[in-house]
């Protein structure tokens, strides 16, 4: 009987140790939401001009030569024989006005351009030269 009382005492002591103390509240026990999970910011949608573009859709698969896509990021324009940094960008109702600082054949030039893009096409107007070029979006 003493063994049973001793075992019961140990069991009760163990249960008491698992109970919250008087200073513990439900709010103290609950983890704040997201404490262990890092907060993730929604990924912003890139501007419509970002992507791979080709004058002819059949060029989209090409990786070499002049008949291949150009690549446009939020900050660069990479053509066949030139690379441009987009140094100024101003949204307009139709698209964007930008300044390209381009490197081509060892020469650096500043070009004012207007970009108009949608899901399927990109038109860049070279404002100082007075002409426009249109490309088709290449699908990944």
Domain annotation covers residue 72: yes
Ordered per-residue pLDDT tens for the chain, 140 residues:
444 344 334 333 343 444 444 444 454 555 555 556 566 778 889 999 999 999 999 999 999 999 999 999 999 999 988 899 999 999 999 999 999 999 988 899 999 999 999 989 999 999 999 999 999 999 87
Domain annotation covers residue 131: yes
- Report how many domains make up the chain: 1
Cβ 124 vs Cβ 112: under 8 Å: no
Return d(Cα 56, Cα 133) in angstroms, integer: 12
Return d(Cα 18, Cα 12) in angstroms, integer: 10
- Nearest-5° Cα angle at 17, 11 to 22: 135
Cβ 115 vs Cβ 108: under 8 Å: no
Domain annotation covers residue 66: yes
Domain annotation covers residue 130: yes
pTM > 0.85: no
Domain annotation covers residue 93: yes
Among residues 39, 72, 40, 42, the alpha carbon closest in space to that of 54 is found at: 72
Domain annotation covers residue 128: yes
Which structural domain range is residue 109 located in?
A: 51-137
Domain annotation covers residue 106: yes
Among residues 82, 87, 114, the alpha carbon closest in space to that of 100 is found at: 87
Cβ 113 vs Cβ 94: under 8 Å: no
Domain annotation covers residue 17: no
């Amino acid at each position: 009987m003493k063994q049973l009382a001793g075992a019961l005492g140990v069991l009760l002591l163990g249960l008491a140790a698992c109970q919250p103390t008087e200073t513990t509240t439900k709010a103290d026990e609950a983890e704040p939401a997201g404490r262990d999970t890092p907060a993730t910011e929604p990924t912003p949608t890139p501007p419509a001009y970002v992507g791979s573009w080709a004058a002819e859709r059949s060029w989209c698969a090409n990786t070499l030569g002049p008949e291949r896509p150009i690549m446009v990021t939020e900050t660069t324009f990479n053509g066949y024989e030139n690379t441009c940094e987009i140094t100024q960008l101003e949204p307009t109702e139709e698209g964007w006005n930008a300044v390209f600082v381009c490197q081509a054949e060892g020469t650096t030039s500043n070009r004012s351009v207007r970009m108009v893009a949608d899901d399927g096409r990109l038109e860049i107007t070279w404002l100082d030269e007075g002409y426009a070029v249109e490309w088709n979006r290449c699908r990944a």
